[in-house]
Amino acid sequence: MARMKRNANGSGCIRLRADGRWEGIYSIPATDGAGKYVRKSVYGKTQEEVRKKLAQITVEIDEGTYTAASKYTVSEWLECWLNTYVKPSVKDFTLDSYTNICNNHIIPALGRIKLKELKTTQIQKFYNSLLESGKLSVKTIKNIHGVLHKALTQAYLLGELKQNPTDKCQLPKTYKTKIEPLENEDISRFLEAIKGHKYEIVYYLTLFTGLRQGEVLGLSWDCVDFENNLILIDKQLKRSSHHKGAYYHLDRTKNGHERYIGVAPAVLDMLQRQLVWQQQCAQNAGSAWNNEWNLVFTNELGSHLCHSTVYNNYKRIVKSLGIEKKRFHDLRHTYAVASLESGDDIKTLQDNMGHSTASFTLDKYGHVSKEMKQRSAKNMQKFINKVS
């Protein structure tokens, strides 16, 4: 039996096992601080392989950088991380989002790998395969990376890993998507197409206030100030998944801040129509009426509207107009561009849109303001030519 020199914290030796493998035995201090040692082993096909492993461990023990090998697989660790570190500290919809990413993407690809054996190259190939499939956006891949990075960072902090293998991964570049608002002609056609539609006022409000879909569907009557032409945006309707199924709930706005927006009289007229319709529905439904959140937009019995239903109806309308590529979110972009073209400054638009900073708004819609400045310069040149 070959032996190694004692190190400062224990001893190491190498032996040939009955199964033909070589085993290196070493000792580390017990975690209870009682001065005792715990025996551990490493294995290899040759004596030299094990000798190198023991030598590395000896250095790490002496330098105080030694980390015991994790007993978890990636799947087991993610489950532990979600239940122990994520669940108590985040909202339900965040936990649902993290859980879905783990179950639908990370675990199927990496779940069986031992946590201690997970390599940067394996993770990089996983990200590359997601991109090459063409089924996920770059943003979604970055969200997957964000969840895995957080999980492995926690493992590193707890000593389950010597380093976080996601730190050295290269993520795909994000290319800014081109804003494609509805043209004025398409706006007119769209308004004509939604007349009398079940969700006409939902689409009308979205188009002329720039609210996010969840903010529109989560708007309550106590937030509508008819007297001062104002709407308070302080919440949104969220759809979250749960082990018992999907459910809807009211939540804070995307950035967690509330805001007031001024609305055009025509928008308030539409809301007055909605109020009259809802009051009639409540009368017809009698005891079956239940608008527990005092929502502006409900079905005939007072229940909230579903995101998918509103969206699918919208897609059918734009398809009938030959502009099927226009997303529901493009109504919000259309409002932003119309606001700038109508004379609103970037700061006002930022407040109305609920962006966290004016720089974000400028980065998103700056090209529109540049075009406006160019038009302004041309108009000034026409004036100069007129008076010269």
Cα 185 from Cα 64, distance rounded (Å)? 70
Q: Model's pTM, two decimal places?
A: 0.66
| pLDDT at residue number 9 | 41
Q: At what angle do helices 346-353 and 329-341 cross, to 10 degrees?
A: 150
Q: What is the DSSP string of 278-337?
A: HHHHHHHHGGG---TT-BSSB-TTSPBPPHHHHHHHHHHHHHHTT-TT--THHHHHHHHH
Per residue in 341-380, pLDDT (tens digit) is 888 888 888 999 999 888 888 888 877 656 667 777 887 8
- CA 184, 187, 189, 191 dihedral sign is negative
Cα 130 from Cα 126, distance rounded (Å)? 6
Buried b (16+ CB within 10 A) or exposed e, 168-204: ebeeeeeeeeeeebbeeebbebbeebbeeeebbbbbb
CB contact set of 261 (below 8 Å; sequence gap of 6+) = 209, 210, 211, 230, 231, 233, 351, 352
Cα 288 from Cα 274, distance rounded (Å)? 19
Sheet holding 259-262, edge to edge: 224-225, 230-233, 259-262
- Domains of the chain in start order, with CATH, are 2-63 (no CATH), 74-168 (1.10.150.130), 184-374 (1.10.443.10)
Give the chain's end-to-end CA distance (angstroms, integer).
104
Neighbours of 42 (CB within 10 A): 19
| pLDDT at residue number 84 | 93
Contact 304, 295 (CB under 8 A): yes
- Return the SS3 of 231: strand
Cα 241 from Cα 248, distance rounded (Å)? 9
Amino acid 193 reads A
Per residue in 147-184, pLDDT (tens digit) is 999 999 999 888 788 889 999 999 988 777 778 889 88
Neighbours of 148 (CB within 10 A): 25
The pLDDT profile of the chain, 388 residues, written as one tens digit per residue, is: 333 334 434 446 888 888 888 888 877 765 555 557 767 777 888 988 888 888 877 777 666 665 555 688 999 999 999 999 999 988 777 888 899 999 999 999 999 999 989 999 999 999 999 999 988 889 899 999 999 999 999 998 887 888 899 999 999 887 777 788 898 899 999 999 999 999 999 999 999 999 999 999 999 999 999 999 999 999 999 887 655 567 888 988 888 889 999 999 999 999 999 999 999 999 999 999 999 999 999 999 999 999 999 999 999 999 999 999 999 999 999 999 888 888 888 888 899 999 988 888 888 887 765 666 777 788 788 878 888 7
- Return the SS3 of 69: coil
| pLDDT at residue number 66 | 57
